[in-house]
Amino acid sequence: MATVTPNLDLFGPLPRRLGMSVVLAVSAALVLAPVLAVIYGAFRTRPPGAPRAAFTLAKMAQAWGGIFTGGWTQAPTVNTILLAIPVTIVATALGVALAWAVTRTDMPGRRTLELLFLVPLLYSPLVSVIGWTVLADPGAGLLNRAWAGVTGAHAPLFDVYSYGGIAFVMVFYFAPYAFLLCAGAFRALDSTLEEAAAMSGAGLLRRLGFVTFPLMLAGIGAASLFIFTLALEQFAIPGFLGAHVHFDTLAYAIFERTSTYPSDLPGAAAAGTLLLVLSSIGLYAYRRLTRHAGRFISVTARGYRAVPTALGRGGMVLTVICAALFAIGVALPLAAVLLRALLPVRTASVDLSALGFGNFTQLFAAGDFLLGLQNTAWLAFGAATICAGLGLLIGSLLVRRRSAGLSALDYLVALPIGIPGTVFGVGMLWAYVRTPLYLTLWILLLAFTVRYLVYAVRTVGGSMMQIDPVLEESAAIAGGTPLRTFLFVDLPLLKPAIASAWLLVFLIVMREISASVILYGADSVTVPILTWNYLNDGSYGTASALAIVQVVAVGLVVMLLRWLFGADIRARSE
């Protein structure tokens, strides 16, 4: 008997068509406005709103032609690509290996390690910057001073202000993304083929090489392309660390064009088109890989249990390796940030008697601290709530209905995530400079909502795919209206996914800096912006104290939501 997808027209066909037209028009306006504004600004002679502005090709010629003629965009473009490629390869390999270890083996402590590997998603990249600066500054880093004390060597063991140092910090920051994207797919992978290979005499490495990883190839490729796009747009890590050795990337070069005097917004827009093209290539390839991804229904009367790979004594060895990676990539820099927050001044050695809360006292007394904390909380709660609500509506429609309008809406929702944050910020600046939104919290809220709505749509939509339409059909047969079916069948099952979508957007906004560094004003500073400003002013102690406050606050929110709603950012099969 054929299964018919239930009709979810909650308000009738005519209002639905009218509503879809309005939603498409509004979405197109909000998404395309910053993109078109960047392109428009790249052909202007003066900033937005300036008198005597005219059309010109000079800025685009300088940006694009400079790549080949030694112009100002050549070094940042080359640096961006040379940094993104190895970071993507290593971070993806590390994240995939860790995802396999915690989801497909009987490794001891795997559930605890799965949560620990996601810790970097709770804080901004500036936390990693502070931690590794304290540890690996070539002159005063604690690790380098300890190395010199033990060996007597004058050369530093690890220089964080180098190409290798920047790549190292970025790898450990992005590896959790590969872990998150692949863990759900590994968990949903049927172990029948692996068991058949084992019964045929194939060892573990042979099974991994010829069965497990080939089945995961599309998911791994999608994760690597996603990380490549994120690495291209990364602003904070290469921006701060690279500035010490004049290693500029495109994202940071765009920021400099907007923040230095005199500002060059047309030049920033022209450079933004470069980064936009690079990111669009990665986004296009990512969508090609994920377009026909398998969809798995799990909320049914039957299911299967994936059989973990037995490692024997090797399980404990793998646990030690995973724990060591967590200690190096996450625990060590976090401990360095906490230590620096408790030290009154930066020193080359640790004096435990000098530990205190002076930096926290100074932070709490600062006039901009409460303002930044209040703004960040308001933006995070506001953007998360709006995105969760819209994600429920759009995600449900995309899964249960098919139409040209919905396909266009799906593409529009996903488009902003492929736009680098600094480019998106420049576009928003050009698009709304003459409106009351300019340099206010409202423009930040609008930017975050438009840019991160896709996370809520994908999270809710992925869970909606796992709900068997038979449940809705049964409710309809029992006399339930589409609205009652949605409220009393779908909504209760989607509650954890809605909470997870809310949490995911909340976490992203709490640590966002690449777009807000372009759009913020005196009254709309956020915690990441304050941390960035403190670092650039040399106030490492205050910046470290603020980073600790942010980590603790976000951690409390995560635990509260997990306790109340079962909210989780761990990947599910999609």
| Residue range 150-167, pLDDT digits in tens | 887 777 888 899 999 999
Residue 295 pLDDT grade (very low, low, confident, very high; cuts 50, 70, 90): very low
Averaged pLDDT for residues 470-496: 60
pLDDT category of residue 2 using cuts at 50, 70 and 90? very low
Q: What is the mean pLDDT of residues 11-33?
A: 68
Choices 1.10.3720.10, 3.40.50.720, 3.30.360.10, 3.90.600.10: CATH for 69-298+312-341: 1.10.3720.10
Lowest mean pLDDT among 18-32, 84-98, 341-355, 465-479: 465-479
| Residue in the structure block whose two tokens are 């099969």 | 573
Q: Where are the domains of the chain?
A: 69-298+312-341, 357-574
Report the C-alpha gap between 515 and 501 in whole angstroms: 21
Q: Give the pLDDT of residue 166.
A: 93
pLDDT at 17 over 70: no
Question: Maximum distance among all alpha carbons in the chain?
Answer: 82
The pLDDT tens digits of the residues spanning 407-424 come to 777 777 777 877 778 888
Per-residue pLDDT tens over the stretch 63-103: 888 888 888 888 888 999 999 999 999 999 998 888 888 88
Structure tokens given for 70 = 């030694």
Kindly state the tokens that stand for 338: 């906490």
Half-sphere exposure of 129 (CA within 13 A, CB side): 24
The H-assigned helical ranges of 56-120 are 58-60, 66-69, 74-104, 110-116
* Per-residue pLDDT at 169: 93
Work out the burial of residue 201: count CB atoms within 10 Å of its CB; fewer than 13 is exposed, 13-18 middle, 19 or more buried: exposed
Task: Give the tens place of pLDDT for each residue, 188-217.
Answer: 666 666 666 667 666 667 776 666 777 677
Average pLDDT over residues 353-357: 77
Residue in this structure with the two tokens 């060059």, named with its chain if needed: 264
Spatial CB neighbours of 464, under 8 Å, sequence gap ≥ 6: 395, 396, 399, 400, 490, 494, 497
Q: Check residue 31 and give its pLDDT.
A: 82
Q: How confident is the model at residue 347 (pLDDT cuts 50, 70, 90)?
A: low
For residues 558-564, average pLDDT? 74
For 309, the 3-state DSSP assignment is strand
Kindly report whether the global pTM for this prediction surpasses the value 0.85: no
Q: Say yes or no: do domains 69-298+312-341 and 357-574 share a fold.
A: yes
How much is the mean pLDDT over the chain? 78
Give me the pLDDT at residue 451, please.
87
In percent, how much of the chain has pLDDT > 70?
75
Cα 184 to Cα 113, 122, 171, 216, 311: the distances in Å are 15, 19, 21, 11, 21
Rg over alpha carbons for the chain, rounded to the nearest Å, is: 25
Q: What is the mean pLDDT of residues 471-499?
A: 62
Percent of the chain with pLDDT over 90: 9
pLDDT value of position 13:
54
| Closest-CA residue to 91 (of 240, 226, 242) | 226
pLDDT-derived band at 571, boundaries 50, 70, 90: very low
Question: At residue 172, does pLDDT exceed 80?
Answer: yes
Q: What is the pLDDT of residue 294?
A: 44
Q: Check residue 570 and give its pLDDT.
A: 55
The single-letter code of the amino acid at 385 is T
Name which residue leads in pLDDT, 433 or 488.
Answer: 433
Residue 293, pLDDT score: 47
CATH entry 1.10.3720.10 includes domain 357-574: yes
pLDDT at position 53: 74
Q: 10 Å Cβ neighbour count for 406?
A: 18
pLDDT at residue 291, as a whole number:
58
